[in-house]
Amino acid sequence: MTRSINRSIARRLAMMFALVALSVFTLVGSGLFLVMRSQLDHHLRESLDDRMEIAKIIVYHSVTLDKWRMAREKLTDMSPRDGATMYSVSSDDPSFHYGAPVQGRVTGSWPGGYTRVEPAAGGPAMLTRTLVVPPSGVRPAVQLQVSASCQPNVRTMRAFGAALTALSTLGSLAVLLLSYSVTRIGLAPLRRLTKDASEVSPNNRSQRLNTASLPHELDDLAHSFNGALERLDGAYGRLESFNADVAHELRTPVTILIGQTEVALTRNRSVEDLRHTLQSNLEEFERMRGIINDMLFLARADQGERATGLVEVSLAAEVARTLEFLEIPFDEAQVRAVSRGDAFAPVNRSLFGRACTNLLMNAIQHCAPGDTVTVTISRHEDQVRIAVANPGQAIDPSRLDHLFDRFYRAEESRTNSRENHGLGLAIVKAIAEMHRGKVSVESANGVNMFAFSVDAPRVDVQAAQEVPAVPTIQAVREPVMTVERSSVVSGHGVTPEPAPAGR
């Protein structure tokens, strides 16, 4: 692809260096030009002073007419034929006259009687100096004027200016070419990084930028890019795992549906047999619907959807409602539930109940019979935190930061895949973010705690005191039946059916 000049870093830098060089050369050249002109003018005035002193001595000693004639001859001998220097003497006595003073437009004057004159008859500008010679003998007082042509200085300055212009142009061109070459050499590591980056593809996700011997300015960029590739590789890997899990989860019910339907069609069935088959098919359809609903919900959350229909409620009351909804799972697992604390916050009750359900079902799956699940509600500044803690095997610290990641499974096998397809905790995180909150997980001292928070700006203290207090809720379930449970933590990723809309 053809690149325009403003898209090439090397060319842009070379142009900028050339412009900087041209600016510097222009400033230096202008300074030299002014200094040169000042020195030439100074030398011209000194030369004019020397000629003036000689002419003054000649005129001063012309005390008689004979000596004046001799003085005129000397002044004529001192005047070059090219008119570069001219002398004039004028007085009230016509006998004491010589030449004609320079007349014209005055373009400049300096202390000491120096005047720059543009002759009325044309020709080069003249620098003149005029003084009065006092009378002596028969000679009256006379006015002596010495003029020197400025043309040599003008020619010198023109040649000097042309030389400066040419040298500045050539110097800027040299800087342009050299800086372009140097810049291309300096950008060689960037071209190498570009080549390495172009080799990254879905089929070569392990490719990383080579950060060896990189300049300091590019080292941070390369490491940041490699970090982004690591994150993308991890997300891509989790997505692949999720796709495999979803394919497995959807294939199982589809296979069951096809098998049961084929068996039902092999021969005539009674109404009761068909009803049983339809009931089994309905369960598989419900399972498929749950997976699809979770995926659609997370897709909406990805688009930045916020929770609507917020109602200021007692979170302890909502937790108690969820515990009541989960009475049967608690009874079957022979697990006890305790709720502590309370706070008021604006939440979408359906979404809040779903997040609590996911965390509680997650805790039930990793509890042993007789264990206690503790729900703690606490306020932290403008956030209310709901934490669900349960005894359990310690979780690998390297996995803690990923448990709420979408598509993440702590173990690669599909153990307990009928109840867990790796989206439960991701849904909790999405619901927390929809309420402007966040999630956290801790595993220490034999207790695993999963928590999420919701945004709850503080209300007026007097108004809060007028709200009747809600007593601490404690739900205790007596064992009903014993279920065999695996002692291995399997991802903490449970997605139960969503709570009823009225909760």
Higher-confidence residue: 168 or 407? 168
- List, in order, residues 6 or more apart from 97 with CB less than 8 Å away: 89, 90, 91
More confident residue, 345 or 204: 345
**pLDDT in the model for residue 492:** 35
Per DSSP, the three-state class of 398 is helix
Q: What's residue 337's pLDDT?
A: 93
For the cut 90, the answer to whether the pLDDT of residue 454 exceeds it is yes
Share of the chain above pLDDT 70, in %: 85
| Percent of the chain that is helix, strand, coil (3-state, to 5) | 50, 15, 30
pLDDT (average), residues 455-481: 47
Of 180, 82, 91, give the one whose Cα is nearest residue 123: 82
pLDDT band, very low/low/confident/very high, at 486 (cuts 50, 70, 90): very low
DSSP states of 239-300? HHHHHHHHHHHHHHHHHHHHHHHHHHHHS---HHHHHHHHHHHHHHHHHHHHHHHHHHHHHH
Look at 172 and 418; give whichever has higher pLDDT: 172
**Encoded amino acid at 24, one letter:** V
Least confident window among 28-37, 56-65, 278-287, 299-308: 299-308
What sign has the CA pseudo-torsion 116, 119, 124, 129? negative
Express each pLDDT in 200-246 by its tens digit. 777 777 777 777 777 777 777 788 888 888 888 777 776 776 677 67
Grade residue 420 by pLDDT with cuts at 50, 70 and 90: low
Q: Which pLDDT belongs to residue 188? A: 80
Name beta bridge partners: 312.
346
Lowest mean pLDDT among 102-106, 133-137, 304-308: 304-308
**Comparing 294 with 366, which gets the higher pLDDT?**
366
**Once rounded to an integer, what is the mean pLDDT over residues 285-304?**
76
Model-level pTM? 0.48
Is residue 31 over pLDDT 90? yes
Same topology, domains 216-300 and 310-475? Answer is no
Over the stretch 431-448, which tens digit does the pLDDT of each residue have? 999 999 999 999 988 899
Mean pLDDT lowest for which of 189-193, 269-273, 354-358?
A: 189-193
**What kind and span of H or E run contains 229?**
helix 216-266
Task: Say if domain 216-300 classifies as CATH 1.10.287.130.
Answer: yes
Task: Report the C-alpha gap between 385 and 380 in whole angstroms.
Answer: 7
Q: What is the pLDDT of residue 195?
A: 79
The Cα 407–Cα 393 span in angstroms is 22
Q: What is the mean pLDDT of the chain?
A: 80
Among the listed residues 35, 37, 33, the one whose alpha carbon sits nearest the alpha carbon of residue 161: 33
The reported pLDDT for the residue numbered 284 is 80
DSSP, res 449: E
Mean predicted confidence (pLDDT) in 27-45:
91
Q: What is the residue extent of each domain of the chain? A: 5-172, 216-300, 310-475
Torsion from C-alpha of 150, 152, 154, 156, nearest 10 degrees: -150
Contact 226, 210 (CB under 8 A): no
pLDDT at position 459: 58
Q: How confident is the model at residue 503 (pLDDT cuts 50, 70, 90)?
A: very low
CATH H superfamily, domain 310-475: Histidine kinase-like ATPase, C-terminal domain (3.30.565.10)
Give the whole-angstrom CA distance, residue 245 versus residue 408: 10
User: What torsion, rounded to 10 degrees, do the Cα atoms 40, 41, 43, 45 define?
Assistant: 160
Evaluate if residue 495 carries a pLDDT over 80: no
Amino acid 370: pLDDT: 92
Phi, psi torsion values for 410, nearest 5 degrees: -70, -25
Q: Which CATH class is domain 5-172?
A: alpha beta
pLDDT reading at 184 higher than 80: yes
Lowest mean per-residue pLDDT among 113-117, 121-125, 135-139, 201-205: 201-205
